A and B are shown apart, each in its own frame.
Chain A
Amino acid sequence: MKLFSETKHYLSVYRKFISTSVSEATSFRTSFILMIFMDIFFFLSAILTVDFIYDHVATIGSWKRPQLMFFISFMLTVDHLHMLLLSHNFWRFSDDLKSGNLDFTLLRPLSSIFIVFFRYFKPSSIPNSFISTGTLIYFGMQNGFGPTQWILLPFLVILAFILLALLEFIISCAMFWLVEGLGINFLRMQMQQLSRWPDFIYGYFTKKLLTFGVPVLLIGSGPVHFLLDINNWPYLLGMIVSCIGCFYFLIFLWNRGLNHYDSASS
């Protein structure tokens, strides 16, 4: 009952986050329209670059065009969710830490992690939802997915997004100690880059490190291997275990960070 009322509370706040974000974003109309085009351009350029490479080679690693294009679509869909729901917040967090504006967040009767990382929604990314979902379905069909894969696909996209988010939240915790967040934000983006390529391009030790140490390869390669061959279920298990481990590590680190926070002077 308590869990139900808490969830209801958080959802009602999140609805307001969305409506206030839309209100804010549409205050600057030209910028809003520009952002829509920029997002679509980024998405199409990523897809078309890989498509172009396959005009000249038959396989990359062990994957042919439909498999790698599905992987790219999967990662772009996860990336799209990241852009839509989180991306703005990492930059604002760094500013709020430096300016002391985090103070008000800490006074609110909700989880500060929730407010810090979900406060700003990016409405200009909404149009991209149709393109990312469309390409994901298209390349899923090209790979001859059966009912099981189609049922699993949305859950795996969400799980991959959760893992990416948790890893980025963990990295962002370092801002409590470093205060200047620019370097941390670039580190976070480099980590995203690592996950955007299939795991077979990495050497043995790098692959092990990026799968079991900092599990970025489980964000994209894990679920795609599983979807392409259901017998690869250990990837799914790895994702679930990583999410649980990262969640508890995040809570520990966040609380340490809050204790270290000294707030900019007034």
Chain B
Amino acid sequence: MIITKDLTKKFVSYKKEEGMKGAFNSFFKREAVEKFAVDHFDLNIEQGEIIGLLGPNGAGKTTLMKMLTGIIVPSSGTVEIAGHSPWKREKDFRKKIALVMGQKSQLWWDIPSIDSFKLLQKYYEIPDARYNEKINMMGELLNVKDLFHVHVRKLSLGERMKLELMASLLHDPQVLFLDEPTIGLDLVAQENIRQFLKDYHAQHNTTIVLTSHYMADVQALCPHLVLISGGKKSYDGSLEKFENILGHKKSVYFTFNQCIDKTDDFWKTQDVLFSENCDEVELKLDDHEIREVSAAILNKFPVVDFHTEKMPIEKVMKKIMENPEILSGV
């Protein structure tokens, strides 16, 4: 469905010196700075897949999205999406894709969203019956029917984002690009959007490319991850494999009601990390050890709380951003 080969985008920007003198100097002589936002990027996404495109700020995720959607033209390399080259901007191609950007709105700000939907219906030549069916179906799923006649500028970010999603899906795109769709949303709104996307994907088998800084989005939706760093691909594989980059052991955390004895023989056989106050420990355990070791700790120490790591992906991402070399062996 999506194939890129050696995809590269180079941007040229200009350095501007500070202050009045700097402005004057820069007016006559500017220093050009070339930057590879995306650098020889290869990607292969099958139809119906959901992939998470991860990377730190400025890694090139949005630039990649914009090249895939045909908004900007690559400096070199090729892209093929559903049999089309995006930057030829063929009508058929544009009917097959949709883009949601968490930080930009496609809805018209000063009119109710229903007017924007009607305009989109005309853009995409959606028959009335299909349009009404989709509006009702998505309106109910997202619980936003009451908001259709409210001016967009009066809506909360969460409400607007649900309507943005609706706007993008009205024409039944084959490929949906989501650029940080949950950014700035509260936890409930994030969860609603995730659940909606999950259900929508299950029903329509739409290919989805998602970027997000919220690992909960990625963990909930994306079995396939691609990591981009400095414009280059540094990981392309399953979520499970990604979570195990730091090792197969799981982290298990115990909290005690008092400081415990660090020198106790029990700890000598464990891979353990103590908190500063000695009232918390983090143990690295293999799956088969968790039950036995946990029972022993519960018996021996004054445990008040214990849990396993909720999102190993978050930890892996943090470690990779601190030390990208980790990926060199993957």
A261–B89 Cα distance when bound, in Å, is 14
* Chain A residues with CB below 8 A from B92, complex form: 109
How many A-B residue pairs have C-beta atoms within 8 angstroms? Tell me: 81
- Chain A CB within 8 A of B261 CB: no
Residues of B within 8 A of A20 (CB): 108, 111, 115-116, 118-119
Which residue of the partner chain A has the closest CB to B177?
Answer: A107
Q: Are B118 and A262 in contact (CB under 8 A)?
A: no
Interface residues as binary, B69-112 with A (CB distance below 8 Å gives 1, 0 otherwise): 11111000000000000010101101101110111101010111
With known contacts A109-B95, A265-B62, A266-B179, A104–B104 Cβ distance under 8 A? yes
Residues of B within 8 A of A259 (CB): 73, 87
Shortest distance from the beta carbon of B277 to any chain A beta carbon, whole Å:
42
B 45-73 binary contact with A (CB < 8 Å = 1; else 0):
00000000000000000100010011111
Please give, as numbers and ranges, the residues of chain B lying within 8 Å of A9 by CB-CB distance. Answer: 122, 125
Given contacts A263-B71, A266-B101, contact A110 B111 (CB under 8 A): no
B227 to chain A, nearest CB (A): 18
B115-A107 in contact (CB<8A)? no
A100 near B104 with CB under 8 A, answer yes
> Chain A 97-124 against B: per-residue CB contact (8 Å), 1 yes, 0 no?
0011101101111101000000000000
Tally of chain B residues near chain A (CB < 8 A): 37
Q: Say which one of A11-19, A43-51, A243-251 lies at the interface with B.
A: A11-19
Residues in A neighbouring B115, C-beta threshold 8 A: 19-20, 23
Interface assignment of A30: CB less than 8 Å from any CB of chain B? no
Please give the distance in Å from B195's CB to the nearest CB on chain A. Answer: 24
Of A28, A100, A108, A263, the residue contacting B94 (CB under 8 A) is: A108
A residues within 8 A CB of B159? none
Asked if A24 CB lies within 8 Å of chain B CBs, one says yes
Residues from chain A with Cβ under 8 Å of B98 in the complex: 107
Q: Using known A-B contacts A13-B122, A261-B72, determine if residue A106 contacts B103 with beta carbons closer than 8 Å.
A: no
Q: Is the CB of A110 within 8 A of B123?
A: yes
Q: Is the CB of A16 within 8 A of B118?
A: yes
Among A112, A258, A266, the residue within 8 A (CB) of B104 is: A266
B71 touches A103 (CB 8 A): yes
Is A27 an interface residue, CB under 8 A from the partner?
yes
Residue of A nearest to B211 (CB): A266
Are A24 and B97 interface neighbours, CB within 8 A?
A: no
Q: With a CB–CB cut-off of 8 A, which chain B residues contact A258?
A: 73, 89
Is B151 close to A, CB under 8 A?
Answer: yes
- Please measure, in the bound complex, the distance between the C-alpha atom of A84 and the C-alpha atom of B308, giving whole angstroms: 65
Q: Does B279 contact A (CB under 8 A)?
A: no
Task: For residue A17, give the distance in angstroms from its CB to the closest CB of chain B.
Answer: 7
Query: What's the nearest-Cβ distance from chain A to residue B95, in Å?
Result: 5
Q: How far is the CA of A17 from the CA of B120 in the complex (A)?
A: 11
> Are A109 and B91 closer than 8 Å at their CB atoms?
yes
Residues of B within 8 A of A107 (CB): 69-71, 94, 97-99
Task: Determine whether the beta carbon of B71 is less than 8 Å from that of A266.
Answer: no
B11 interface hit (Cβ, 8 Å): yes
Q: How far is the CB of B11 from chain A (nearest CB, A)?
A: 6
Whether A16 and B122, one on each chain, are in contact in the complex, defined by CB atoms closer than 8 angstroms, is yes
**In the complex where A19-B115, A20-B119, A23-B115 touch, is A101 in contact with B104 (Cβ < 8 A)?**
yes
Chain B residue nearest in CB terms to A99: B104
Please tell me which one of the listed residues A12, A27, A103, A265 contacts residue B151 in the complex, with CB atoms under 8 A apart. Answer: A27
Residue of A whose beta carbon sits closest to that of B58: A265
Question: Which residues of A sit under 8 angstroms from B103, Cβ to Cβ?
Answer: 266
Question: Is B243 interfacial (CB-CB < 8 Å)?
Answer: no
Residues of A within 8 A of B122 (CB): 9, 12-13, 15-16
- What B residues does A13 contact at CB under 8 A? 119, 122-123
| A109 touching B111, Cβ below 8 Å | no
CB distance from B58 to the nearest CB of A (A): 8
Partner of B99 from A24, A99, A103, A265 at Cβ < 8 Å: A103
Whole-angstrom CA separation of A17 from B179 in the bound complex: 27
User: Which residue in chain B gives the minimum CB-CB distance to A100?
Assistant: B104
Contact with B along A214-254 (1 / 0, CB 8 A): 00000000000000000000000000000000000000000
Complex: chain A residue closest to B121, CB-CB: A16
8 Å CB interface, A1-50 against B: 9, 12-13, 15-17, 19-20, 23-24, 27-28
Interface centre among A15, A23, A261, A266 (most CB of B within 10 A): A266
Does B180 lie at the interface of the complex (its beta carbon under 8 Å from any beta carbon of A)?
Answer: yes
Point out residues on A near B: beta carbons under 8 Å: 9, 12-13, 15-17, 19-20, 23-24, 27-28, 99-101, 103-104, 106-110, 112, 258-259, 261-263, 265-266
> Would you list 13 pairs from A and B whose C-beta atoms are within 8 A, ordered by A residue?
A12-B122, A16-B118, A19-B115, A20-B111, A20-B119, A106-B70, A106-B71, A107-B97, A109-B95, A110-B123, A258-B73, A266-B62, A266-B179
Closest 8 CB pairs of A and B: A109-B94, A104-B106, A109-B91, A16-B119, A24-B110, A13-B122, A266-B62, A23-B111
